[in-house]
Structure 1
Amino acid sequence: MKVQAGGLGARRWIVWGAIAFGALFLGIGLVLTGVSVSFLASAERTRGTVVGMEWRYDQRNDRGGVSRTRRVHDEPVAYPVVEFTSADGIRRTFRSDTGANPPAYEEGAGVEVRYRADSPEDARINGFASLWLLPLVFGGIGLVIAGIGTGVALATRGRSRSVSGRR
């Protein structure tokens, strides 16, 4: 019987850990959504042009840092370099934080740019990936993991009461 009690305790920790992990990721997703909404609320719009692609190898190592070693199957990622003119008449250039392979944009393509008037170097391409991809990934993963943990907790709640009531 002690093995069962220990098993129930371990399962309970795993379930609550999944709920906590999911809630953390969901929280991060909500914060990132708030950052994007705040940016869009105060951002100016203008047209820009993709003037080039910055190709990079972006490997992450096991500790979350960037690895300096390149693996055989790694492909470079293209980050669009965009030029636009801000409201003060100054021509500005930025590299998007969102890259892709194959590239999402071609050189010479016109794009809509959003930037902060008080800080024009804080600019982004007005597109789904650059504004909403991270909030969606973190929020989605958090929602799925917390949902599974909650579902398992609710499903096993009745079982643990019936097992303890039989003693």
Structure 2
Amino acid sequence: MVQVQGRGRVVRRWIGFGAIAFGTVFLVVGLILAGVSVSFLADAERARGTVVALDWRNDDHGASGKERENDKPAAYPVVEFTSADGARRTFRSSTGSNPPSYEEGDRVEVLYRADSPEDARINGFASLWLLPLVFGGVGLAMAGIGTAVVRARRWRS
């Protein structure tokens, strides 16, 4: 009986520290992604763009390759804008949604780097902050849960 209780404590300790490690990694990735967005915003040129099409795509279905019942295609806006050098450019946003966030003909503000205008983004919350928020939020939650497990174990001792 003592041996079983001892193993349970060790397992809870490893689960707690594992959750803290997992959460810390996700939190760091979220902070790095936020830093990339801040850096992009600091160097970005701005231009007016127009949504010229919606590229409807099904996301990957994971390792199983099976489509789930609630899987729906997402609309990725295709945006055309004129860069500072006068060239007309087109890009597909990396952020899609269903229902679509934009419709054909919508005017949007485009952010791009002057030295690489093909790296353009729509100036919107999802395209700039969604990934940092998701990774940071999951990381914070997991690290908090792990910390609570470890502290509760120590408090009981």
TM-score scaled by length of structure 1: 0.89
Deviation, structure 1 residue 72: 4.0
Alignment-mate amino acid for residue 142 of structure 2: I
Aligned length: 156
- Equivalents in 2 of 1:73, 1:3: separation in Å? 43
Identify the residue that residue 6 of structure 1 maps to in structure 2: 7
Q: Please tell me the root mean square deviation across aligned C-alpha atoms, in Å.
A: 1.2
Identify the residue that residue 108 of structure 1 maps to in structure 2: 105
Q: Is residue 92 of structure 1 aligned with residue 89 of structure 2?
A: yes
Q: Tell me which of 122, 125, 130 is aligned to 1:125.
A: 122
Structure 2, unmatched stretches of 5+, are none
- Equivalents in 2 of 1:144, 1:32: separation in Å? 18
Identify the residue that residue 49 of structure 1 maps to in structure 2: 50
Question: Within 5 A, what are the aligned runs for 1:1-167?
Answer: 1-62=2-63, 67=65, 69-160=66-157
Deviation, structure 1 residue 119: 0.2
- Show CA shifts across 1:76-129 (max 9, x none): 110000000000000000000000011000100000000000000000000000
- Equivalents in 2 of 1:73, 1:159: separation in Å? 44
Kept in 1: contact 2:43–2:113 (CA 8 A): yes
Structure 1 ranges of 4+ moved more than 3 A? 69-73
Alignment-mate amino acid for residue 8 of structure 1: R
Deviation, structure 1 residue 145: 0.8
- Equivalents in 1 of 2:144, 2:40: separation in Å? 29
Deviation, structure 1 residue 159: 1.4
Kept in 1: contact 2:12–2:149 (CA 8 A): no
Alignment-mate amino acid for residue 82 of structure 2: T
Deviation, structure 1 residue 75: 1.0
- Equivalents in 1 of 2:63, 2:154: separation in Å? 36
For the pair shown, which has the larger CA radius of gyration, 1 or 2?
1
TM-score scaled by length of structure 2: 0.95
